[in-house]
Structure 1
């Protein structure tokens, strides 16, 4: 059974989707955003929260994540996916990349209103959320990259380099020695 090349975890707005897409492109592999899959299957996440509550959403999320973990791809999971015990168990044997960021860096990133757990509390809510999840994130992570200030293309290239070294069968399209 195929397994993911890497799974991206981290706080909301840490760059999991943006960087994950770039890593997948550099490695020439598929990219899966589990939040997008949930939306495609069940509707907008904010609506699921409003209509059915967080517990129902977490159950849907757990099933979508479990399915994504059977595919050979770069997988990005929602910030709270790791709180489900079955998801934690499924991630224990994966190449889990934790993306971190600071509250200052995330302040401009969380203005969309598409994050139901942050809608009323802004950065303060984000800080509380991250602190509550930090032990889980850190326990599951194989490698960590901070996304606060560095260019996302640089971070993506570093992650792709690491994965290519871990999995030599990957065709790595990024070159450190760019042609002049």
Structure 2
């Protein structure tokens, strides 16, 4: 019998100050057995930092091959934002960039290695795709506070992320480079 996903609930207070987005919401995150806590935390932070009407996690979960980990749909159901997590391959980024109005990548891995893996490969509108990462150790530190039920505060201003998860308080710059 296959092991099912572990459900985590996050009560989120979100302040994206530069975009004037202030929301409080509850989000349930299904952590697939093959998904690391670092990947799940990066996926959750990407969801928060990209938050807008129509945002959702992929319906097929992290094993979906037809959708990114996080996406935004308009009222017609068309994907308007393709948001990848981790280390997607160039072909997947190319596909997503052609399909959606905008594409972004959030990684908990070494961004230099990721950029090197895409070097010389065809990626539609590569210069418009931001690759966002955090200081080394930030994601790993955040994962130590993950419970099944969580209270979380995320504030982003001028490229700095402030995270409170339970009793843990962390901050990091959001490093942004572009794919090409």
- TM-score w.r.t. the length of structure 1 is 0.32
Between Structure 1 and Structure 2, which shows a larger proportion of strand residues?
2
Question: Normalised by the size of structure 2, how large is the TM-score?
Answer: 0.32
Q: Which has the higher contact order (CA 8 A, sep 6+)?
A: 1
